Amino acid sequence: MTPSVKPSPEKPRIGITLGDLNGIGPEVVIKALADARLLNLITPVVYGSARVLSFYRKTMNLEEFNYSQVKQKGQFFPKAINVVNCWDDVIEIAPGQPSRQTGKAALAALRKSVEEIKEGLIDALVTAPIDKNTVHGEDFPFRGHTEYLTHEFNAMESLMLMAGQQLRVGLVTEHVPLKDVSALLSRERVELKIRLLELSLKQDFGLAKPRIAVLGLNPHAGDDGLLGEEEKTVIKPVIEDLRNKGKLIYGPFPADGFFAAGQHTKYDAVLAMYHDQGLIAFKTLDFDNGVNFTAGLPIVRTSPDHGTAYNIAGKNMADESSLRQAIYLAVDVIKHRIERSGSK
């Protein structure tokens, strides 16, 4: 596994990919970095193209948005927005239109950022959204960023962890069809995800003794086997075993009543069995400020909790709050990891 990079002594160097050029990625990146106060906190390194930034700067009437193009690898200006050009071709930008060409460009930026974080040139990675349909293929057989980064950093497993001001929720299964979820649940998988979540809460969020709630899979958490056996045969035995080892793990809880009663406020994080079970609640509570964090990696990676939003791309309507929070969380995780490693 690739070791975590050590942050630069001045400010953390945060790599930011533009994502799909026809989506809202470039817009939210520009809007977030247009706040000059961020330059006091980080050294931003944007992976993409100066031409793309120029295009969107003009469409957004932000001519005062300035940046420096990186001429020599790894030589970043600490008080400027640094841009690493990841391709030479002139790419047609058509906001709101899915394109294999812009998907290819998004992958070029992602791969360049991964190359440079492996080399220790940046300290964390913030990824703007890509379009899975335009990037998926023989040279990118992954469902998204999370699976790709897990592969690239030789992690045994990772955890998709959504972090917001009101809720943190991790997922046992991620981007899979609902009909396949039950077959993917095993005691080993559920325990691994709980352990990844607990470790991340400690090392990445600075919580000494995190309390974790685990949701059931079926309605009413199986209703003692009447509505499904997964709780009795898989989830509950894992929880009981971990509790016997002193872990603060609770459940399984019926998802509907759990969130309706506000029980999530009693825990540091919630583990959901499948994507929508956790993300419906998360996006209801924290959509504007939510962040997608990949736990279990040796590097720090965050992302806004939204997609390409083609329907509003190029209209200067996108809200940059989630991208800004993704940057802030990356900085916080770096700090917590340094503190944890220093205390050992």
The CATH code of the domain that includes 211 is 3.40.718.10
Q: Provide the pLDDT for residue 342.
A: 74
Placement of tokens 């609640």 in the chain: 281
Q: Do 138 and 33 fall into the same domain?
A: yes
Euclidean distance between CA atoms 39 and 79, whole angstroms: 6
Euclidean distance between CA atoms 344 and 297, whole angstroms: 19
Find the domain containing 41 and state its range: 1-155+297-344
What's the structural domain count of the chain? 2
What is the token pair recorded at 116?
């440079």
Q: Do 40 and 69 fall into the same domain?
A: yes
pLDDT band of 89, cuts 50, 70, 90: confident
Short-list 112, 118, 106, 99, CA closest to 142: 106
Q: Do 93 and 222 fall into the same domain?
A: no
Q: Do 325 and 307 fall into the same domain?
A: yes
**Final residue of a structural domain among 248, 274, 292:** 292
pLDDT at 63 > cutoff 90: no
Q: Provide the pLDDT for residue 125.
A: 98
DSSP 76-139: --TTS-EEEE---S-----TT---HHHHHHHHHHHHHHHHHHHTTS-SEEEE----HHHH-BTT
pLDDT at 51 > cutoff 80: yes
Q: Do 107 and 177 fall into the same domain?
A: no
Q: Provide the pLDDT for residue 96.
A: 97
CB atoms within 10 A of CB 341: 11
Q: Provide the pLDDT for residue 3.
A: 41
Short-list 276, 21, 281, 297, CA closest to 145: 297
Torsion on CA atoms 131, 132, 137, 141, rounded to nearest 10: 140
Short-list 294, 286, 293, 213, CA closest to 254: 213
- Asked which of 3-12, 182-191, 194-203, 215-224 is least confident by mean pLDDT, the reply is 3-12
Residues 282 and 164 sit within 8 Å (Cβ to Cβ): yes
What is the token pair recorded at 226?
């009447």
Q: Do 170 and 63 fall into the same domain?
A: no
pLDDT band of 333, cuts 50, 70, 90: very high
Query: What is the percent of the chain with per-residue pLDDT over 90, rounded to a whole number?
Result: 89
Q: Provide the pLDDT for residue 309.
A: 97
Those residues with Cβ within 8 angstroms of residue 246's Cβ, 6 or more apart along the chain or in another chain: none
**Final residue of a structural domain among 249, 272, 292:** 292
Q: Do 164 and 47 fall into the same domain?
A: no
- What is the overall mean pLDDT for the chain? 94
pLDDT, tens digit, 9 for 90 and up, residues 137-192: 888 999 889 999 999 999 989 999 999 999 999 999 998 999 999 999 999 999 99
pLDDT at 2 > cutoff 60: no
Q: Do 181 and 46 fall into the same domain?
A: no
Euclidean distance between CA atoms 6 and 298, whole angstroms: 11
**Final residue of a structural domain among 249, 276, 292:** 292
pLDDT at 5 > cutoff 80: no
pLDDT, tens digit, 9 for 90 and up, residues 280-292: 999 999 988 999 9
Q: Do 172 and 150 fall into the same domain?
A: no
Tell me the average pLDDT across 22-42: 95
Residues 8 and 121 sit within 8 Å (Cβ to Cβ): no
pLDDT band of 343, cuts 50, 70, 90: low
Q: Do 63 and 185 fall into the same domain?
A: no
pLDDT at 4 > cutoff 50: no
pLDDT, tens digit, 9 for 90 and up, residues 305-330: 999 999 999 999 999 999 999 999 99
Residues 194 and 249 sit within 8 Å (Cβ to Cβ): yes
Q: Do 12 and 129 fall into the same domain?
A: yes
Verify cis geometry, omega within 30 degrees of 0, for the bond prior to 252: yes
Q: Do 117 and 213 fall into the same domain?
A: no
